[in-house]
Structure 1
């Protein structure tokens, strides 16, 4: 084995890791450590595990065998997938799999018995055996639908360990043993993995679970708490877990008894509230009537269609609640009294913009002046003279026998509201002094500015209603009484989860009849109507913790500026804030406002400030801050240590900036891989958003070599071609390892491998280049080198179904179309993919070749859709052989579905038909399988079928 090169520096199973990462992200609440609390942008655990293992596992001169062993360790090989299989397939599903597989159709009658639409396994047949055989035939995507995630699978089968140990020269029986033995073989000791941007704790948690010693730090106390919890709470032993359960039950029981004694969640019939619905109301400046600001009058859908109706009552409206609404009532209720543009008054029907309602204005210097009254520190509700007031308009109750219903608040409900209001009003100052509710002022920032502007809120307690303040203060009091650090941490996290799902920023979701969390995205979103959960609806949050796992607790979690780290680690795995970074420091202050006193008691050595002034931000100082940080990390790793930097961005200029930062920090690039980690269904990211996380693999720059820029261009070309070639050798037609973005990134990495292997390049001033990459990318030599490397990559990346000697004879426009069609075959409909291909193949005006350019629905025109229209904007395509073949296909379809007419057209158009025959066959061969691909068959069926018939004629054609 070559211990100088790691597996991740030679190869990485990006496709499989992407699919597993996507599955993990889609599992939502099923993710391993998300139950601890809210953090933004946690990386998938399988991505972390694979990256760490990839750094530790050595590479050999047999990359195929290396890949097999790597997948085996991660239980992502065929046997591992079989062991991870948890869901059984129905007899009907098995029948359909066998029916669609030509090798197993012969067994249909032996295995299955049909009774109308029902399918049964025949008597005497072993369903498990049939299922195992058919499961093995499925593609990776289908297989993992039936599997637990790899990080949930704890034990590999014995023969897998035999193969792993034989290949790596180890004698491990568990992942932890393997990690220790590989560490000792390579470094002479069990190494430490460090992360100085630990955030939600994914990297330290997974490293500790793999058996490494860990160092974790973050500037932010909430990040520090979540990371500490990921190791100490997720790693709790049975005794500790029992203590946690007892603590949670004890606290909840006390709070529940107090709420019940007050009677503030029960109505006159003894039914208990589940949710309270509130809305803002304001006076219409046009007609003077007080209008409830409701974006929709739909109250509930899931458990029965319920709507609200506005009934005039003097100068205001009563809100009545109506269950069992009909379709017409539901449609009418979908339109409320407020839109993003402003108030739509139901009385005078005039629209008033929100900014006019708030009385916002500009001063003589053009600065914005917010018109809303700014609330005082001890306030928790609007004044009657405020522009925005608040009112309770519906309550969802549950009877003792479990029936649930909505109603408008009656006199008893309003009395309960007043009782809560008086309790909070009478105790607010005392609670703030004791740290039971927030007293912290909201600092101005990118996100927090909205709170001043849109509501006049100046302190964090203003974000919570009276009911929410009362409930949270009761939990705070009980957690303060706890002396155990472990249990106090559990309590703090519980309070934070209740706050996340219990603020005025929680939108009401009528589709699910419940309130959603404050941080459903990375912003403070003020609501015109919001839901307040009762205690019973918050109980699942209080009791929720992550699953328990054996873990190595030999590690450090600290609060620290990454520039001040003093611990040395062999592996630094970091996910830094970057460019358009999330404003973690602002968002986390929402939780810090509740946690300040409790954190000091639990972790007296920690501070309770978000350290805004030190936070890494995407401004002019960003690159210099990052250079300081990564220079420090390079100083705190041995010469044979490694780093993996995770970041998410699609712009080559940003990529170049990060590479220059690393270069300036004394690090050299050895590889880069792109993993799809973002889910499609977030509801927040429309369009061609970035879905990938780049893993940038780095080592310390230890040489003093110097080169000239013109001397290394040929080295870069050779390195790019070598990198692409090695990836193509590993490519699998049935289960692709790589997509085109992976090859492009590999080209970026290959060029930067060469560049950063030198201490200096005499023609380049790195400070100047970094400034250019940030402020004027088109003038940056490094950006130009990266773009050139991308073009080399596109020349090298030949579709698997294409002969290389024919590929080089295609025009750029033909290559653009073929690569786009290959991408569609793999189910990729991102418009950004075609934009990248157009840049890579220098194809201007390609829009004429597109059937759609809608985000995530982009695809090329088929021959039928092109028909006889002239593709005037792309003469390179219009005059090409591929266009002639397309016209032949269209002619054959148009003239009675006759392939002979198609061939006749092509021969008539091509005097050198016989010289072009091999290329024509190749093009038709590539096109014809579109009819057999599910996502393509609807629109490609006709053209692909004619291509298939035409291919047979051309193949059998003779002079």
Structure 2
């Protein structure tokens, strides 16, 4: 057994880990750690688990057996996935995946169409039966065991993605089959019966002790949490105390036994009950009819500079689309403002009128009175100084203010309230604790109303109650008092509203209710677990209770604060009544007791002193998320409460020290950090750096950083983790996660760029050949994007194996701005490796000479079709390939950009749109071939397509062989089950092959 190489350095099941990661992401709030609170970019726990196992599991001389054992341990093999199945399969799915012979064995089939010699007619017969598929029934008296047998036959024929629809996540089930453990033990030379036992024993074999896994960018805590859950020790640190809090909660609360969890839940309920009692005593959320408010809708008001009318501001006056409720503005000539009527069950005319009266559009105020449009920047009195810089004209709010002054540009107005009139079968206590899936209508009748005089009196009472407590609660830390520090994201509320302090992002009702929650949790908490649990619950509450929470008229509810990782101010917003707090206050999770052997520190990664056997990190590399700024939203509330729970922690974001994802200072910080980590791990220790792959320039930069830190790259794997929210967007969007595997560099060797270029080319080919030799044709693991990544990995592997490389000035390269148009030597080497990979990755049976003479766009499309053939539909895979071919814009080639549903357009979907326009693809021979197929389909005659080619393709006769090769490739899609949309184009491609081949003969 070779203990020198770990499994992850030789191979990794990227396809299955990607699919499992996607399944976990899709679980939303049901994810294990997500319920603890907001953090951006948490890595899926299954990705961490697979990484840890890949590091600890040794590679042997039998890589195929290694892979099988790896999948068995994670329950990703066929039998493991079957054991994870916990949802029933519809009879139709079972029927669709059985042969006709099997159908006859288990179901009552009405006609006897089957004979022994016609099994190849299964598909045809099944299609004939499909019209009446719903009428097929199980044979009378079919035993449960036979139903299970038929179900398993069908289940085993599903794709891996489809199987996962019926399965628990690996973390939700334990591998208990003793025969499987016996097989695992025999291969690995262990004696264990559980995953934690296995991880510890493998660690002891390698290090002589249970390994410690370190993460100095702990963030939301995925890496330390999963490390301890699978039996290892964990060290977690982060500069940001909010990250420390969330990580501590994961490690020390989610690991508690059921009995202790129950006590924490009781504490949560007790705090909420006390808040309910106080609010009821104040009488601020029920009206004279006894109805209880659930939501209050507010809008800004401002004076139109043209007609001096006070105008309520909103881009839409929809209140509830379910109940057809809208707000209608009516000019009040006495007050020179607008009355706002709330209309339920509005007519189509009233809805149109409401839409016409939207008062904010395209960054301007539209006055319904004089119909003039005024840019918002003019309202704010923004100006340009002598140096050409914008001077923001809004008054800055003072520290003691939580309401606008009467002469401020933007006032705030309550314009609608969502009330519930309770039915006699329910109590108010039940409504206040309504479970999330239950509808409001279950508890009574919903009314949307305009505020009455009494409602406005209750608003004044809220202000009065807050005034009485404001100074004291700020002093005790129940309300924020911190200044909003200027920054990329935090400038927004200062610039657009004049809010200088964090408490000004909340209105009086929000401050009163959230402050009351903080007061009660502080008063009632008796130990550190209750304090932390309370802080996490409080954070979840005010996260949904700020003036930058959108009102969702389609869902009749308020949204969260950071709907796009920013602090964007709104013209109208939702304010929750206490009846909308409960589901955010309580944390609903499944206890998963485990021994959490961990330590946590709030410290700069550059000075971390902990010795760890493995470091797994997810650094803020080229990251669009300003963690240090956005976390201050939470820390403004948490500051004093964290001090009480963790007296030794600081409580600010340490923004000055934060590692920001660009620039020279960032590069130097990263070198210091990773050099420090390398110094705090043993010689046989390893690191994994997780980051979002973007471009050769980013890779080049990262290469230089890790190289300077004394680390040697040994492997790289790309895991697709996207969900629908990660669809095709402009700019720096998330595609997938690269796992970069590293060891300490122990050699003193040096080389020159001309020498290593050839070495890298050979390494690229060797890496691709090695991956191909491991590929399972029945269950493909690698896509072309993975083979391309081999080019990056090969480059990094060779470059970082040398201490010095002549011709590369590391210090100079790292000092260059990342957006520099000058291609540096490392980037040039990487680009050359990519070209090597693409020249090597010719589609099967495609003529190599023709392939090399195709345009980048043509090669991209054809290799993209290879992805489709392999059932790869992750957007990241296509983006990766586009980068490799140098194709900058391919959106117009796609029929779907939805996550995990990406595919190219068919010829008929292209039609004649964008034909011969300026973009590169429109002028290619492949585009003309598509047009020929589309014409053939339209006319249902291949002659039409040939005529198009002869008339439109310049030098048709010289290009016939290329045309035929392209048509031949496209025709191979005809009989691929998951590519039915290509069946007709492929058929006409075959017709055209014959016509073009015989042309002129």
State the TM-score, normalized to the length of structure 1.
Answer: 0.91
Q: CA deviation at 1:257?
A: 0.3
Instruction: Specify whether residues 878 and 198 from structure 1 end up closer, same or farther in structure 2 by C-alpha distance, changes over 3 A only.
Output: closer
- 1:454 & 1:274 partners in 2: Cα distance? 28
574, 577, 580: which one aligns with 2:620: 577
How much does 1:712 deviate?
1.8
SS at structure 2 position matched to 1:406: strand
| Matching of residue 379 in structure 1 with residue 405 in structure 2 | no
Matched, 1:56 2:99: no
Partner of 1:595: 638
- Map 1:539-550 → 2, pairs under 5 A: 539-550=582-593
Matched, 1:692 2:736: yes
Counterparts of 1:507 and 1:297 in 2: how far apart (Å)?
Answer: 13
Alpha-carbon spacing, 1:683–1:689, altered in 2? closer, same or farther (3 Å): closer
Give the corresponding residue for 1:12: 12
Contact 2:25 2:721 in 1 (8 A): yes
- Deviation, 1:861, is 6.3
Between stretches 866-875 and 766-775, larger displacement belongs to: 866-875
Give the match's secondary structure for 2:795: helix
Q: In 1, distance between residues paired with 2:938 and 2:545?
A: 64
Structure 1 residues 227 and 140, CA gap change in structure 2 (3 angstroms): same
- In structure 2, the gaps of 5 or more residues are 111-128, 424-442
Aligned to 2:364: 342
Partners of 2:385 and 2:391 within 8 A in 1: yes
Q: Measured at CA, do residues 862 and 156 of structure 1 come closer, stay the same or move farther in structure 2, by a change above 3 Å?
A: farther
For residue 753 of structure 1, report the CA deviation from its aligned partner. Answer: 0.5
1:103 and 1:927 map into 2 onto residues whose CA distance is 34
Question: In the alignment, what sits opposite 1:308?
Answer: 327
- 1:731 deviation in Å? 3.0
Report which stretch shifted further, 867-876 or 673-682.
867-876
Following superposition, the deviation at residue 883 of structure 1 comes to 9.2
462-471 or 422-431: bigger deviation: 422-431
Aligned residues of 1:675 and 1:692 also touching (Cα < 8 A): yes
Structure 1 pair 823/415, CA: closer, same or farther in 2 (3 Å)? Answer: same
Deviation at 1:778, TM superposition (A): 3.4
Secondary structure at the counterpart of residue 64 of structure 2: helix
Q: Tell me if the contact between 2:932 and 2:944 (Cα under 8 Å) persists in the aligned partners.
A: no
> Is the Cα–Cα contact under 8 Å of residues 258 and 593 in structure 2 kept in the other structure?
no
Give the structure 1 partner of residue 867 of structure 2.
Answer: 823
Given that residues 311 and 367 in structure 2 are in contact (C-alpha distance below 8 angstroms), is that contact kept between their aligned partners in structure 1?
A: yes
Segments of 5+ residues of structure 1 without an aligned counterpart are none
Distance 2:935 2:498 in 1: 68
Alignment of 1:589-668 (within 5 A): 589-617=632-660, 618-668=662-712
Matched, 1:132 2:152: yes
Q: Counterpart of 1:217 in 2: which secondary structure?
A: strand
1:123 to 140, 145, 156: 140
Instruction: Find the counterpart in structure 1 of residue 506 from structure 2.
Output: 464
Contact 1:688 1:832 in 2 (8 A): no
What is the rounded CA distance, in whole Å, between the counterparts of 1:700 and 1:59 in structure 2?
Answer: 19
| SS of structure 1 residue aligned to 2:166 | coil
Residues 441/836 of structure 1: CA separation in 2 closer, same or farther (3 Å cut)? closer
Stretch of structure 1 that moved more, 112-121 or 482-491: 112-121
1:833 offset after TM fit, Å? 6.8
Q: Give the Cα separation in 1 of the matches to 2:924 and 2:728.
A: 43
Deviation at 1:823, TM superposition (A): 3.2
Cα drift, residue 935 of structure 1: 6.8
Match of 1:220 in 2: 240
CA contact (8 A) 2:613 2:685 kept: yes
Matched ranges for 1:722-737 at <5 A: 722-733=766-777, 735-737=779-781
Match of 1:445 among 483, 487, 490: 487
How far residue 511 of structure 1 moved from its aligned partner, in angstroms, is: 1.0
Q: Per-residue CA shift, 1:655-701, capped at 9, x if unaligned?
A: 11011101100101111111111212368946893311111111111
Do the aligned partners of 2:328 and 2:353 also contact (CA within 8 Å) in 1? no
Distance in 2, matches of 1:684 and 1:264, equals 46
> Do structure 1's residue 748 and structure 2's residue 792 form an aligned pair?
yes
* TM-aligned CA deviation for residue 96 of structure 1: 3.0
Note closer, same or farther for the CA distance 1:119–1:383 as it changes in structure 2 (3 Å cut).
farther
The answer on whether the counterparts of 2:211 and 2:613 sit within 8 Å (CA) in structure 1 is yes
Q: CA deviation at 1:803?
A: 6.4
Inter-CA distance 386–866: structure 2 relative to 1 (3 Å threshold): closer
* Root-mean-square deviation over aligned CA pairs: 3.6
Structure 1 counterpart of 2:114: none
Say how many residue pairs are matched. 946
Measured in 1, the distance between the counterparts of 2:565 and 2:702 equals 23
Please say if residues 480 and 598 of structure 1, whose CA atoms lie closer than 8 Å, have aligned partners that are also in contact. Answer: yes
State whether residues 645 and 697 of structure 1, in contact with CA within 8 Å, keep that contact through their aligned partners in structure 2.
yes
What do the CA deviations read for 1:606-640 (whole angstroms, capped 9, x no partner)?
Answer: 01111011001123311001101111001001111
Report the alpha carbon displacement of residue 876 of structure 1 after superposing the two structures with TM: 12
Checking the alignment, whether the CA contact within 8 Å between 2:842 and 2:851 is kept in structure 1 is no
Partners of 1:781 and 1:887 in 2: CA distance:
42
How far did residue 413 of structure 1 move?
1.2
For 1:719 and 1:770, how far apart are their aligned partners in 2? 26
Output the CA distance in 2 between the equivalents of 1:747 and 1:268. 72
Q: CA deviation at 1:410?
A: 1.1
Structure 1, residues 719-771: CA drift from partner, whole Å, max 9, x if none? 10011111122334554322222222211110110111111113322212333
Deviation at 1:603, TM superposition (A): 0.4
Q: 1:104 offset after TM fit, Å? A: 5.3
Deviation at 1:941, TM superposition (A): 3.6
CA contact (8 A) 1:50 1:74 kept: yes
After TM superposition, the structure 1 stretch with the greater mean CA deviation from structure 2, 830-839 or 699-708, is 830-839
- Which deviates more from structure 2 when the two are superposed, residues 659-668 or residues 124-133? 124-133
Q: Deviations over 1:64-102 (max 9, x none)?
A: 22111111111111111111112111212322333xx67
Q: What does the per-residue CA deviation read over 1:320-357, in whole Å, with 9 as the maximum and x for residues that have no partner?
A: 11111234433443452112411111111111111011
Matches within 5 A, 1:88-237: 88-98=88-98, 110=108, 117-125=134-142, 126-237=146-257
